[in-house]
Amino acid sequence: MVRPVKRRRSRAADPIERLTQLLPAFAARAADHDVSDTFIARNYQELKDARLMALAVPAELGGDALDARALADILKRIAPACASTALAFSMHNQAVASLAWHWRHQKAPVASVLRRIARDQLAVATSNGSDWLNSSGVATRTKTGFRIDAMKRIVSGAPSSDLLTTSAIYDDAMAGATILHFVAQMDSPKITVQHSWHAMGMRGTGSHHVRIHGLLISDRVVVVRRPRGAWHPLYHAAVMIAMPLIFSVYLGIAEAARDAAVAAAKARPSTPSTFEQVGTIEGHLNTARIAVEDMLDAATADPDALSTKRILMDRTLAGEAAIAAVEAAFELVGGVAFIRPHPLERMFRDVQAARFHPLGLMPQKILAGRIALGFGIDDLVTD
């Protein structure tokens, strides 16, 4: 007797199936988190329970090994259910994907961290977006490493994260101001989450300040050392990895706003004005999709100034188009969208956060212009 062959589900498809089961509950809780300014802690726990925290960990280290396109798709799926969950989860995934990239391409000593993330389903928060090139805080030399004292701003996912990827400034007698990048345990008594996040939108991301006071780290946990203020390859890689993931969230919000507006338009008599308004939404949405797609196309194994310029131009385009799409949907639906609990009211506020991820509009344009004209970018003020 010939036994039927059992088809194994691919590792890439399995996370989508696990995620899909969580989305209805995320959507049901989203409004409450928005109204109460509370972190989406239960959603994060359910992501952990569904073993979705290691999506970006390489297969050799026990993870799902999803590429940027697959990660972007997952985040875009979460955004219509709960944008705060999607944005916080994008920060986790870009932090993990960055560790994985540095492990694979620069032999960074983070294999054990990545294995722990996969084995124990650890959540990772990062301060790299708010620290950017200049970092913040002080690293003081000790006999075995460094003492860290810092206040890190806007650390999304802080309340439920297990690890923190962050940095501090060491005044090296020979090399000058040097940024030390390292991974720390969030449950250290030397790390305190300060509940400071009271925002217009994305209220459930838990993007609080994190205080580090007297944390001792050894030399061996320093992942990267770089000059302060210079465009180190670390940040070309950070742009390549983070921007497509973050802006897939805003694309997901814009797509959900479009669907809400079209549903409202279909429920009433159509006029030429209706067709024009829906067409406007479609145009903005198409622009956002093209920009995110180009970010993903530009993500290569060898990030450099040209890929950074391209992706940051796309970041501006995607953010502006997503905001415009939601605003156009808001106008089409009318005054009812201005009142809670209409979903467009929250979408309108949440999508505004697209403005504030680095680089901002003016620094992005200056960077693009300097590269096009053959000037260096290390003296560009970005903070």
Rounded-to-integer distance, Cα 353 and Cα 159, Å: 20
- As a whole number, the mean pLDDT across the chain is 93
Q: Is residue 315 classed as helix, strand or coil in its secondary structure? A: helix
Backbone angles phi, psi at 367, to 5 degrees: -60, -45
| pLDDT at res. 342 | 92
pLDDT at residue 2, as a whole number? 36
The percent of residues above 70 in pLDDT, for the chain, comes to 95
Residue 188 burial by CB count (10 A; 0-12/13-18/19+): exposed, middle or buried? middle
CB atoms within 10 A of CB 227: 15
User: How is domain 233-372 classified at the architecture level of CATH?
Assistant: Up-down Bundle (1.20)
Q: Which residues, at least 6 apart from 210, have a Cβ–Cβ distance to it below 8 Å?
A: 125, 127, 151, 152, 155, 158, 164, 166, 191, 192, 193, 194
Dump pLDDT digits (tens) for 280-326.
999 999 999 999 999 999 987 689 999 999 999 999 999 999 999 99
Whether 10 has a pLDDT exceeding 90, the answer reads: no
CATH homologous superfamily for the domain 125-227: Butyryl-CoA Dehydrogenase, subunit A, domain 2 (2.40.110.10)
Question: Residue 38 phi/psi, 5° resolution?
Answer: -105, 145
pTM for this prediction: 0.93
pLDDT-based confidence at residue 11 (cuts at 50, 70, 90): very low
Domain ranges, ordered by start, for the chain: 13-123, 125-227, 233-372
pLDDT at 234: 86
- Per-residue pLDDT tens digits for 14-28: 899 999 999 999 999
Give yes or no on whether 13-123 and 125-227 have one common fold.
Answer: no
Instruction: Residues 13-123: name the CATH superfamily.
Output: Acyl-CoA dehydrogenase/oxidase, N-terminal domain (1.10.540.10)
Spatial distance between the Cα atoms of 326 and 250, rounded to a whole number of angstroms: 10
Q: Quick one: average pLDDT of 339-349? A: 94
Binned at pLDDT 50, 70 and 90, residue 139 comes out as: very high
Alpha carbon distance 205, 158 (integer Å) = 9
* Residue 30, pLDDT score: 97
Per-residue pLDDT of 237-263, as tens digits, reads 999 999 999 999 999 999 999 999 999
